[in-house]
Amino acid sequence: MEKELLNKMIEDTDNAANEGKQFEGETERQYYYMNLCKAHVYNEERRLGRKLTACINTFGCQMNFHDSEKLLGILREIGYVETDSEKADLVVYNTCTVRENANLKIYGRLGYLSNLKKKNPNMKIALCGCMMQEKEVVEKIKKSYRFVDIIFGTHNIFKFAEILYNSYGKNKMITDVWEGTTQIVENLPSIRKYKFKSGVNIMYGCNNFCSYCIVPYVRGRERSREPEDIIKEIENLVADGVVEIMLLGQNVNSYGKGLKNEISFAELLRRVEKIEGLKRIRFMTSHPKDLSDELIDVMAESEKICNQMHLPVQSGSSRLLKIMNRHYTKEDYLTIVKKLKEKIPDISITTDIIVGFPGETEEDFEETIDVVKQVEYDSAFTFIYSKRTGTPAATMEGQVPEEVIKERFGRLLKVINEISAKNTDKYTGQTVEVLVEEENNHDESLVTGRLTNNILVHFKGDKSLIGSIVKVHLDESKGFYYMGTMVEQ
């Protein structure tokens, strides 16, 4: 009976397509294609005598991981069963292209998938994400990796079901990459990795055009979601058990620009704060040039916003910051940090730093070390400069020799690690609130949780605690994490 219903559904939808079916919106259109895919998957299951499996591997930032939750939601709606094995019927790589080695990693993995596909000719391979927005990448895949079935980019993630359906029964590569979009498609399926916490996109794209960064070219221009849609999504997540949300955007501080009724990021946070049942609010990433006094005040007054700020500095040299097109100086950045620490004394500040940007001198590098020592970051993501074709920095003179970069990188890490360990140690002996996130990977008698400042703590407990906020005494600092004891609740 189920098979007859599915076959009838696919017949009806095919007839509707032939008759030029009109949809009320993109969401309805994509559910239509999910139903088509569902019928196809059902028939394949009957033919093979088993469920179809899908594996999604995600590379890159929080935005990519959140996109993958949407892809997984669509696949589960269609009928695929998720697996960690790449010996699956469908393998999806959601790619990153911020650094060159991210691209090289994908090419290497494709060689492995080629062998798997020879053993399973019905296997489908799909590539999406930032790397696919680069024309030269797509051309290389078309030429050298012709066994890939689907290529799509960052702007039409929501169209996954339609693209997938169009690939069924085809022996040719389907390529659907958009140069840009103004669309924001809501209310499609999504599968969260964690029941108790979730990312929420508040905006897409970036307008900053830092000279080293390819993100504006692959993610497009800034597009903010309507605040009412964001609030509604968070309310639904809280009703489903979420206690912590991470507001996501390439530059959350510029949220609201371009909306019919403009709203500041600080005001959005005020509205999110009022949602009953929500315990913790995080956000990333903040661009220093747009960080307002209003935002600092809102953070200081809030009972829910975590006392952590990820504030990328990239370099401590005002000369390099100008070439990077960052729109602030070393002094500007340090003034912001001073305001943050004055209003929020226990705030944890983390950052991103690039070593070896074209033209970086020893004096420029020492300016970066000086900022690290003045700010005393709790942690830092440190990167060796990676030349990205299509960005202004890629053609700049003064590319720094590799051996010089590696020596500076080592020096920087040493300073950061010493400061980070000192910062962590100062909280030893305190009793703090901890959101329990998972069973410990190395000791099943322990669970792992996260403080509001984002530092991890491991302590005795069982999986029934996962998703709850408990009080933990921080017994011992291990440099980058704590060992603790849960206090009787």
φ, ψ of residue 148 to 5 degrees: the values are: -65, 135
Tokens of 350: 């983390």
User: What's the predicted TM-score (pTM) here?
Assistant: 0.86
How far is the C-alpha of 406 from the C-alpha of 413, rounded, in Å? Answer: 11
| Residue 12 banded pLDDT, cuts 50, 70, 90 | low
Q: Among candidates 273, 195, 203, 281, which has minimal Cα distance to 237?
A: 195
Q: How far is Cα 469 from Cα 487, in angstroms, rounded to an integer?
A: 12
DSSP 8-state symbol, 389: T
> Cα separation of 387 and 72, whole Å?
32
pLDDT tens, position by position, 223-237? 999 999 999 999 999
Which pLDDT tens digit goes with each residue over 114-155?
Answer: 999 999 888 999 999 999 999 999 999 999 999 999 999 999
pLDDT for 186 equals 83
Residue-level pLDDT at 19: 47
- Over residues 445-452, mean pLDDT: 96
Residues near 324 by beta carbon (within 8 Å), at least 6 away in sequence: 210, 211, 212, 314, 315, 357, 393
pLDDT of residue 1: 40
State residue 384 phi and psi, 5-degree precision: -80, 130
Kind plus residue range of the DSSP H or E element containing 75: helix 62-78
CA distance 66 to 415: 33
Q: What is the mean pLDDT of residues 36-49?
A: 94
- Give the HSE-up count for residue 262: Cα atoms under 13 Å, Cβ half-sphere: 5
Closest CA to 52 of 119, 124, 2: 124
Copy the structure tokens of residue 86: 């790449």
The pLDDT value recorded for residue 267 is 97
Closest to 360 measured CA to CA, from 402, 327, 417 = 402
CA-to-CA dists, residue 131 to 72, 140, 413, angstroms: 19, 12, 28
Give me the pLDDT at residue 319, please.
98
The mean pLDDT value for 376-381 works out to: 95
Say how far apart CA 454 and CA 316 lie, in whole Å. 24
Q: What is the 3-state secondary structure (H, E, C) of 309-373?
A: EECCCECCCHHHHHHCCCCCCHHHHHHHHHHHHHHCCCCEEEEEEEECCCCCCHHHHHHHHHHHH
DSSP state of 488: P
Amino acid 242 reads: V
Buried/exposed 399-417: b ≥16 CB within 10 Å, e otherwise: bbeeeebeebbeebeeebe
d(CA 385, CA 99): 8
Q: Could you tell me which of 252, 68, 227 has the C-alpha nearest to residue 160? A: 68
pLDDT surpassing 60 at residue 16: no
Residue reference for tokens 């060796």: 384
| DSSP per-residue codes, 117-183 | HHH-TT-EEEEEEGGGG-HHHHHHHHHH-TT--EEE-STTGGGHHHHHHHHTT--S-EEE--S----
Sign of CA dihedral 132, 138, 141, 147: positive
